[in-house]
Each structure stands twice: as C-alpha cells, then as structure tokens.
Amino acid sequence: MPAVQETVERVKAIDVDQYKYGFETEVEMDVAPVGLSEATVRLISAKKGDPEWMTEWRLDAYRRWITMREPTWSRVKYPPIPFQDLHYYAAPKKNAAPKSLDEVDPEILKTYEKLGIPLREQEILAGVEGAGSRVAVDAVFDSVSVVTTFKEELKKAGVIFCSISEAIREHSELVRKYLGSVVPVTDNFYATLNSAVFTDGSFVYVPEGVRCPMELSTYFRINERNTGQFERTLIIADKGSYVSYLEGCTAPARDENQLHAAVVELIALDDAEIKYSTVQNWYPGDSEGQGGVYNFVTKRGDCRGVNSKISWTQVETGSAITWKYPSCILRGDNSRGEFYSIAISNGYQQVDSGTKMIHLGRNTTSKVISKGIAAGKSDNTYRGLISAHRRASGARNFTNCDSLLIGDQCGAHTVPYIESKNASAVFEHEATTSKISDDQMFYCMQRGLSEEEAIALIVNGFVKDVLQQLPMEFAVEAQKLISISLEGSVG
Amino acid sequence: MLEINNLVVDIEDKRILNGLSLTVNDGEVAAIMGPNGSGKSTLSYVIAGKEDYTVLDGEILLNGENILELEPSERAAKGVFLAFQYPLEIPGVATMTFLKSVLNAQRKARDEDELTTPDFMRRVKKAAETLEIDQEMLKRALNVGFSGGEKKRMEILQMALLEPSFCILDETDSGLDIDALRIVAEGVNALRAKDRSFLVITHYQRLLNYIVPDTVHVMSKGKVVRSGGKELALELEANGYADYRELAA
C-alpha cells in the first residue's frame, strides 16, 4: 500500500502545529471596508460588475439577513462571530483578466505549486492523456477567479464552466432562471448572508444530451486576513447530460477564526446526472483549539427532472467547525439521490454534518453512507433527515451510518430524523459505533506497522466504501489527507 | 537466538510471570506446555511487546540485544513474529493490501528497498499454494468472515512472507480439525531453518506429533519448572500437569 507509506512520510515531515498549507501569499489586495451594510453590498455588486437585477437580489437578501438570527440547533460551540468586524470583499489587484497562465501573478502560481495543484501540468497532461482523465480547474484565489483552464475545449462540447461573476454578466438569463431556485434567498442565516455578499464561485451549464468531456474542478483558498469567504456555486445539468465536479479546499494558518459560508446549488433536469465530490481541508485550528475555519455551508441538489440523479461525496477533514448538510430534493419521478461522507475530527474540531433526502416524486430512491471518525478531543455528529411526501409512493432509502472512535476523549453522535407521509415508503437505517481496539492495534504493530501506520490502515479500511465513490484523482489525495488529519491522535 | 533471564511480569498488580528463564538456540524448535493460567500466552505477548504488562525484572535478549524497551513494530523488524491464538479482523482492508503494507514496513525499518509488485505477488502466490490458500481469499478483508482454520493458515502465510528469525506459535492448534492441523504444521515445518527458531505454545501433545520439537519446557505458575527432550511431551500427555502444580508452589 504505497499511499500509506507516502502518507506516513508526509506526516513525519510536519509538526502538529505546522499545518501543511499554513503559509500566506504576498499579493496586493483590494479590500472592502470592515462591516456589512447596504453600502458594502452595493460596493461588492459594483466591483463584480453586476447587472441591476443582481444588485437588487443581493440587497433583498441583505435586508432579509439583518432580521435573522444565527441557528443554534447544531451540536457545535463557538464564540459569537463579529459580523460587523469582518471584511466582505478582497480581490487580488493585479487581475487584468489574464489570457493565459503566463499572465498570472507568479506569486499565485507559486501558491498553487505549494498546494500541489499542477495547473501547468494539467494543461500539458490534457494533450497527452485521453479525455477521460482530464481535469479542468477554475482556480478561485480569495474571491476572484484568476484563471480558468480548458475553457476552449469545454466550449467545443458546449459546456459553460466559468466564474459565477462572469456567468452573471455573460449568461444572465440562465443564472437568473436558476440562482436561488434550490437554496432560496430566505433559506437560512448563512445562505442569506451568502446571497447578499457572495464574491465568486463557479458556474457550470451542461447542455442537453452532453456528457461533460472531463472532470471539472475548483480549488478554494482563503487568503486575506479577516475576510469572510462567500462562495457561490451553481451547476445545471440539462436533459440527459452528465457532469462530475470536484471541489477541494485548503487554507493558510492564522490565529483569528475565519468564516466561510458557501452556497452550492445543483439542478438536474430529466435524465441528467450530477456527481459532486468535495475534499475539505481548511485550517482546523492548532493543538490547543485556537484558530481554525468556521465552515457553515449550504449545499443542496434538486433532482428536478424525471430519472435524474445527484450524488454527493465528501471527505471532511479540516475546519474548526463544520456545519454542512449536502442534500437532495427528489422532485422528479424515479429520481435518485446519494450521499457518501467521510468526516474526520481531531484535536478540538467540531463536526455537525449529514444530509437531507426529501422524497417528493414517485419511486424515488436515496442512499446515505456516512463514516464519522472522531479522535483527540473532538466531537463528531451525523445529522440526517429522510422524508417522504404524501405523493412520494414507492420512495426508498437506505442509510448506513458508522462512527469510529479513537481514544477516549472524543465524542460521536448520531441524530437521524425519519418522516414518512406515504405508507408505501420503505426507509432502512443502520448505524454502528466502534472503537479501534487495542488488540487490533497490537496485531498490526506486531506485524511491523508503527502506531500511526496502523491507525491509517484501519481507518482507511473503515472508510473504504466511501473512498471508492471518489474519482481516482481525489481518492489518492483523500487517503493521504485522512492519515495526515489523524496525526497526533494517539499517544 | 533468544535468552530470557529471570522475567517477572505483572498485569494489574497480579503476578503472571515469576522469575521465568528460558533459552532457545538458533534453529531450535522449543515447545512450551503447561496448564491453563500458567502464563504461556503472557510470555508470548511480553516477547512481542504488548502493552498492559508491567515488566518488573529480568531481560529478554534477542541475539544478545535486550528488546524489552523496543516498540512491537521494532521487534517485528528485528525478526520477532507472533502467530496469534485469535487473529484479529481488519474490516475493509484487503488481505493482499495488508500483507504488502506490513512487509514493506518491515523492509523499510531494515533499510531495505520496497518489493516490486510482481516480486511481491510471486512470493505471496508461492506461500499461498503451500498453505492451500485460495487467491480469492487474499482479496477479502483480512480475517473478516474467515473460518478458524483459514485464520490460522493466514497467520502462517504471514510468517512465511515476513521470514522472521524468531517465531512464536500461540496455541496454533486450537480450533483446527485434523486436516487443517496437518496443512498448518507442514507450513511451519517448511520454514524450519538453521537461522530460525520457534517457540511453540500448546496445551496438547497432538500438535507436537506434526511439529516435532527439539526441546519441551513445562510452565507452571509463571516459570519454567522442567525442561527435557520431545519425550517429555508424551509423558505429560500420559500423566497430566498435576505433578507440576506442586513443583511451582
């Protein structure tokens, strides 16, 4: 298992507090004044070159938001977030729409190199390997999309893949039709905030009958001090189309907590399929529980058409707090929703994550496989809702929810909700909680594995069912990440 | 090969080994016999380095080096192998993956290169054939859903692959039918070599018909109370352990 070997080497190369991606890039920043007001919203809107309807949309959201309160139902604790002390906009200054990678600030390219995103290599690779292994990256640096690769090739297939700001300007009618149609402006505190101030994100439109020729990928990165990061992603798969989207995140180390409140909306029309994979590795805070990203994300997919399918796969290893429930609305008859999750918490991390499968159409099916791993002094909660509407005859769900505890100071919690208003719905729920036993550890170590290698091996076995769902490019990275995240969880 | 001097071991303030001494020479197969609770399994765990045991006195020398301060993985890399009485299940980890991980971990600890995949596959295949282990079984998660006999054969397969110098077999015969016992014993016998020693722990003489020992040691109340040749095992089979309970007191 070479991946495990390599991981262990990497783990050894870092100290507990020395977060691998904990560096900051020195690029001149253009920062909005501190705090949130109508003026700030208008400033962001102007900076983004929004059309008027978009400005109004943001302002509506802002006016709604100031009447709302933060939700308190989740199992996470944190000091009050000083929303009026945050910056809501930061953009690299030297951004005169680069035509190619050569025109991109070398500092930014260096950052990507440190993160191991081979932008250049990917372009070269694209020419060498078959279309199946191609990955297109829309790199989001702080808030503005700096560079978008493969655009031309996607264009040939008719796929639109660009920053949401560009889409608002260039594909206004599509954005206007679908933005906020899955996660309404009024949905929840963080989604509403995002609606008012989102600065960038990705937009994908796959036209009818098109199978997107490559995996689409966005790497996010928080950079400017005290800047809330508000990403907005909108993916539309038109009738009979297919797209696979990968999202990966890292963030630099810092003392102050960072707020991240993204919204992702997916729409699958008749016979369309969207596969959305995430590897989340934001800064989790130091070994004392100081710092770390607050990750309050609203992700929802709408299986709007008949026979449509949306599949979420996530590997959550970072952030001080994760509050995230990628969900599916199964509106179209025979539609299918899937949620595969690995959530790892270590140190003082708090995870409250899960999914909602809302069965509205007939003969809709859903599957939930959740693997939670708690180590250190962390808390790891699975929270899920499976519901069947009155019309949802023949709805079926299978949920499997396993928790693994490492050490004796962490917590694993499972909060499943099931609501069925249709007598023909069949919902199955399986759950287990286990600990890595001392005997298992001794057995592996007697065979020659170190303590950390043994944990990595056992944990990778525990999450195997979910890892298999990830695209190859991500699976290897995720496996490494899992081991790095569990560094220092024993002894 | 292995020299144990005056080993005193407690578990949770209870004395388990009480001044045990034992020497196993290069290439020797030593059998340890004794009644339940005499400390046989504890001895195997302490040699392999399991936590939970407090070593109060004595030393364990492997080729002259005291290994008591070493981690279990370090002892493994130095050639200590324990075939478990109850092998552990590792869900989700394919047997083949496990074998490759542990073999390469040991090689790395000894500053040897990792095996190439074809070389590794060849070795596994050879060992598996000897032990009548089906290739399909190697794709399944380690020990998950394996029968008792399959688990024991898998232990010997690992032993064959890792090529340890000091092998401990902890009640390897327990739970085996006669055919499985023969296969396992043949696997062990095939590994006997001048530079490899065995410590075979068993209750019954039966196993020793198949794996014929050079020496037999009787344990009672945490120490070796009598040592002899292979005929000692037959004597024990005939007379039981009653005499030795008195000896240790």
- Domains of chain A, by residue range, sit at 2-485
Find, in chain A, the residue whose alpha carbon is nearest to that of B74.
A448
**Bigger pLDDT: A82 or A426?**
A426
Nearest CA to CA, how far is A117 from chain B (Å)? Answer: 28
**B-chain residues near A464 (CB < 8 A):** 92-93
The answer to whether the CB of A415 falls within 8 A of the CB of B40 is no
Contacts of B109 in chain A (CB under 8 A): 448
CA dist B73 to B4, B89, B163, B189, Å?
Answer: 20, 19, 15, 25
Per DSSP, B196 falls in state B
The pLDDT-based confidence of A145 (bands split at 50, 70, 90) is: very low
- A72, burial (CB in 10 Å: exposed 0-12, middle 13-18, buried 19+): exposed
Residue A251, SS3?
coil
Under the banding of pLDDT at 50, 70 and 90, the label for residue A485 is confident
Enumerate chain A positions whose Cβ falls within 8 A of a Cβ in B: 1-2, 4-5, 437-440, 442-451, 453, 457-458, 460-465
Q: What is the mean pLDDT of chain B?
A: 91
Cα separation, A353 vs A322, in Å, equals: 7
**What residue ranges in chain B does DSSP mark as E strands?**
2-11, 14-24, 29-33, 54-62, 65-66, 80-83, 166-170, 197-201, 215-220, 223-228
* Contacts by B230-235, CB closer than 8 A, 24 or more apart: B230/B31, B233/B31, B233/B33, B233/B205, B233/B208, B234/B205
- With a pLDDT cut of 90, the percent of chain A lying above it is 45
For A323, phi then psi, to 5°, come to -135, 100
Question: Position A22: which residue type?
Answer: G
Q: CB-based contact (8 Å) between B113 and chain A? A: no
- Here the ipTM equals 0.95
Distance of alpha carbon B50 from alpha carbon A437, whole angstroms: 13
Provide the pLDDT confidence category of residue A249 given band limits of 50, 70 and 90.
low
How confident is the prediction for chain A on average, in pLDDT?
80
Give B-chain residues touching A461 at CB under 8 angstroms.
90-93, 141
Q: How far is A442 from chain B (nearest CA, A)?
A: 6
Nearest-neighbour CA in chain B from A382: distance (Å): 21
How many angstroms separate the CA atoms of A156 and B12, rounded?
72
Pairing state between β B2-11 and B54-62: antiparallel
User: DSSP code of B241?
Assistant: S
Q: What angle do CA A314, B102, B85 make, to 5 degrees?
A: 105
Cβ neighbors of B126 (< 8 A, separation 6 or more) are: none
- Give the pLDDT score at A114: 52
In chain B, what residues touch A439 (CB-CB under 8 Å)? Answer: 88
DSSP B85: S
For chain A, the first-to-last Cα distance in angstroms comes to 24
Q: Which tokens hold the place of A262? A: 């993204």
Query: By the CB < 8 Å criterion, does B11 face chain A?
Result: no
Please, are residues B53 and B39 in contact by the beta-carbon 8 Å criterion? no
Contact A438 B81 (CB under 8 A): no
- Using the beta-carbon criterion (under 8 Å), do A457 and B88 form an inter-chain contact? no
The token duo for B58 is 């004595």
Residue range A356-362: average pLDDT?
97
CB contacts < 8 Å between A and B, how many? 92
Helices (H) and strands (E) in chain A, counts: 13, 23
| Averaged pLDDT for residues B174-192 | 89
- Residues of chain B contacting A457 with CB distance shorter than 8 Å: 90, 93, 98, 101
CB contact under 8 A, A448 and B73: yes
Which of A438, A439, A450 is closest, CB to CB, to B73?
A450
State the pLDDT at residue A192.
Answer: 95
Could you list the beta-strand ranges (E) of A59-201: 90-92, 135-141, 144-148, 160-163
Does residue A343 contact residue A278 with C-beta atoms inside 8 Å? no
pLDDT one-digit tens code per residue, A80-101: 888 888 778 766 544 344 455 5
Check CB contact under 8 Å for B101 and A461: no
SS3 B61: strand
Delineate the domains of chain B, giving CATH numbers in brackets: 2-89+164-248 (3.40.50.300)
- The token pair at B123 is 């070795």
CA angle A130–A132–A136, rounded 5-degree value: 100
Joined together, the tokens standing for residue A118 give 């081979």
Residues of B in contact with A475 (CB under 8 A): none
Q: Is residue B69 a contact partner of residue B37, using CB atoms and an 8 Å limit?
A: no
pLDDT class for A14, splitting at 50, 70, 90? very low
Out of A134-143, A322-331, A434-443, give the one with best mean pLDDT: A322-331
Q: How many percent of chain B have pLDDT more than 90?
A: 73
